[in-house]
Amino acid sequence: MTNMLHTIAVVGTSGKSTTTWLTRHLLKNAGYRVGIMSSVGNFYGDDVMQSIPEHLRRADAPYLEYSLDEIARAGCTHAVIECSVNEARLKNLPHVNYDTAIWTTLHADDMDYRGDVESNFRDKWKVVEGARCAIVNVDDEWGKRHANRACITYGDDASADWRAENVIENALGSQFTVHAPNNVFWTTLPMLGRHNVSNALGALAAAQRAGVSTKSLRENLKTFRGVPARMQMISAQPVRVIVDFANTSSRLKNSLQALRSTTARALIVVTGSPDDARYVSDRAALGNAATQFADRVIFTEAGYVNESPEEIVAQVIHGAARENFEIVLDRGAAIRHALDIAREGDTILIAGKGTEETMARGEKLEAWNEVETVRELVNSK
């Protein structure tokens, strides 16, 4: 049954969830029945998001097979799959023959479960090589290096098949001209950040390849409601409050740079590093990015088991570029403090947890919903 699905894989480190959800949105609003698998949640043909247990977010083969079967049973014609490094290794499963693979980016500070960037790239690129059509971001160093294997390219490079020009960013999103093969059109993306314009180009290219018309792409991009905890705006006025995953130095830098141009006054960030071996080497760089690109920084917890929060924060502030930071270890208190010190025209970015559903505090694993926590604190002001 799953052999009948038009399958689209989204591969890389940053931008996968947003590109996956954008692609689904464009296909769904063009009249297709679409299922998705993503780190945020799954949709099996309807608008009810299926939550994914934490230990299954890096899906193994049975879970991948089960989810694709659910998508097919729901009557979907298309499936969009956010591929982690594990799914990359599973690309040869007989029922997953990718029609299209979208390559987003690869960052050296986000190594999934492998120890070096070359291995990480090889695992992920297997999906691209196995797909019938590769849509590659040539603004990414790794994508540009292998652009000769692409069927379609996107990015700022003048040679890209899909590119955005005349980009106008505001506090609510972006407007820009899309240059596509044999088409030029003006559209709106209700998402913050120049990097999300790039994500949109990849999704637009994949949707058009699947049969969506230019008119549908132009009109439906502007109705996208975003992805939970991916540059999600909780409040626009008088203080703009954003929740974003941004759990590595490169992601945090991108998010802060994206918000800078549309922030009237101070840019404040609340961030921290998790107790996870994959992120230890990035902690100082995270502290550097936060203090370099934000005006005020509040370092806090992002979950801890084997290390103490004090030890983790000490490693983060070791890389601080400036002394524009405070330490508030309790995450709820840190968010509340950011709201207390913010003034009209400021932007607050709450980064590092995203849609994670738990907070590890030593031997305790507590329920945690970042978006709802921030929303409640904003509404109580």
What pLDDT is recorded for position 25?
Answer: 97
Task: Encode pLDDT of 228-255 as tens digits.
Answer: 999 999 999 999 999 999 999 999 999 9
Token readout for 222 is: 């502007």
| Residue ranges for the chain with pLDDT beneath 70 | 1-3, 52-61, 85-95, 109-115
Distance spanning both ends of the chain, measured CA to CA: 52
Burial readout 292-317 (b: 16 or more C-beta within 10 A, e: otherwise): bbbbbbbbbbbbbeebebeebbebbb
Task: Encode pLDDT of 146-182 as tens digits.
Answer: 999 999 999 998 999 999 999 999 988 999 999 999 8
- Amino acid sitting at position 313: V
Gap between the Cα atoms of 33 and 75, Å rounded:
7
Asked whether the beta carbons of 363 and 324 are under 8 A apart, the reply is: no
Contacting residues for 300 by C-beta, under 8 A, at least 6 apart: 270, 271, 272, 309, 313, 327, 328, 329, 330, 331, 333, 334
Token readout for 372 is: 């709802």
Q: Is the peptide bond before 238 cis (omega within 30 degrees of 0)?
A: yes
Token readout for 98 is: 């990718």
Contacting residues for 268 by C-beta, under 8 A, at least 6 apart: 294, 295, 296, 297, 298, 338, 341, 342, 346, 347, 348, 349
Radius of gyration, alpha carbons of the chain: 20
CATH code for residues 2-221: 3.40.1190.10
What pLDDT is recorded for position 123?
Answer: 82
Q: Please report, for the chain, how many H helices and E strands are present, in that order.
A: 12, 19
Contacting residues for 230 by C-beta, under 8 A, at least 6 apart: 17, 18, 40, 244, 245, 354
What pLDDT is recorded for position 58?
Answer: 54
What pLDDT is recorded for position 94?
Answer: 42
Gap between the Cα atoms of 327 and 347, Å rounded:
19
What pLDDT is recorded for position 93?
Answer: 53
- Amino acid sitting at position 112: D
Classify residue 210 by burial, with Cβ atoms within 10 Å: 0-12, 13-18, 19+: buried
Closest residue by Cα to residue 44 from 20, 72, 18: 72
Which stretches within the chain are classed as H helix? Answer: 16-28, 61-73, 85-89, 117-130, 141-145, 194-209, 214-221, 249-260, 283-293, 309-317, 331-341, 370-379
Cα dihedral angle (237, 239, 243, 249), rounded to 10 degrees? 140
| CATH class of segment(s) 232-379 | alpha beta
Closest residue by Cα to residue 200 from 169, 226, 232, 166: 226
Closest residue by Cα to residue 278 from 60, 85, 140, 122: 85
- The length of the chain is 381
Token readout for 313 is: 């924060």
- Its pTM stands at 0.89
Residue 38 CA, distance from chain mean position: 10
Gap between the Cα atoms of 12 and 195, Å rounded:
14
Closest residue by Cα to residue 313 from 272, 346, 349, 341: 272
CA distances from residue 242 to 9, 189, 363 in whole angstroms, order as listed: 28, 17, 30
Could you tell me the residue ranges of all domains in the chain? 2-221, 232-379
Gap between the Cα atoms of 201 and 19, Å rounded:
9
